[in-house]
Amino acid sequence: MRTKLAVVIIGVILLLAAVPVWAHHAFSAEFDVNRPLTLRGTLTKWEMINPHSWFHIDVKGPDGKVAEWMIEGGSPNTLIRLGVTKYTVKVGTELIIEAYQAKEGTNKAVGRNFVLPDGTRLFLSLNGSVPGTPGGNPEK
């Protein structure tokens, strides 16, 4: 997918200034590219706050002990405008999150991909695949 798109994009660069990543801050300074990890856990709290939302999840380790993790995501404002609410992902939902751990070394990470156990990616508002919400562009 990404490779295919990359090929498509090559033609664009000739005509278009590169589209920037609109980051409020430097995520690569906060999180470590050398510490990728995949977390599977249960949502205990979703802080829909700015500038970035935070997902709290309980992750059960191989030894059965539960560790609390905080996962950073995007600003909730646009999601809310698109129809997403704090109930869209209910507390207790199991999530699989591909992430990079904080440089600090604590149980914090940035979530580069949020997936449900059945393989559904979260928050794909564009195609209305957010479970239980209208989703989609209000103009469409």
Partner 1 sequence: MNHRFPASISMLAAVTAVVLLVATPVFGQASSSAPKAAPAAKKWTAKTPDGQPDLQGFWTNSTYTPLQRPNGVTKELYTAEEAAQIEKQAAERESEQTTPGTIADVHYDFTQFGLDRNQSTHASNMRTSLIVDPPDGKLPPVTPEGQKRQADRAAERRRMGATTDAVQNMPVGTRCIIMAGSGPPMMPAGYNSNYQIVQAPGYVMILTEMIHDVRIVPLDGRPQLPQNVRQWIGSSRGRWEGNTLVVETTNFNGKNPFQNASDDIRVTERFTRVDANTIDYRFTVEDEKTWARPWTAVLPIKKSVGPIFEHACHEGNYGVRNTLAGARAEEKRAAEAAAKNGSK
DSSP codes of every residue in the chain: -HHHHHHHHHHHHTTSPPPPP--SS-HHHHEEEEEEEEEEEEEEEEE--SS--EEEEEEE-TTS-EEEEEEE---SHHHHHTT--TTTS-TT-EEEEEEEEETT-SSEEEEEEEE-TTSPBTT-GGGT-STTS--S-TT-
Among 37, 49, 66, 91, interactor with partner 1 by CB under 8 A: 49
Q: Which amino acid is at 72?
A: E
CB of 65 to partner 1, least distance (A): 23
Residue (40 or 121) nearer to partner 1, CB: 121
CB of 17 to partner 1, least distance (A): 4
Among 39, 57, 95, 110, interactor with partner 1 by CB under 8 A: 110
46 binds partner 1 (CB under 8 A): no
CB of 55 to partner 1, least distance (A): 10
Which of the residues 54 through 83 are near partner 1 (CB under 8 A)? Answer: 54, 72-82
15 binds partner 1 (CB under 8 A): yes
User: If DSSP codes are grouped into helix, strand and coil, which group holds residue 91?
Assistant: coil
- The residue whose two tokens read 């508002």 is 125
Residues that bind partner 1 (CB under 8 A): 1-2, 5-6, 8-9, 11-12, 14-33, 36, 47, 49-54, 72-82, 84, 100, 102-105, 108, 110-114, 121-126, 137-140
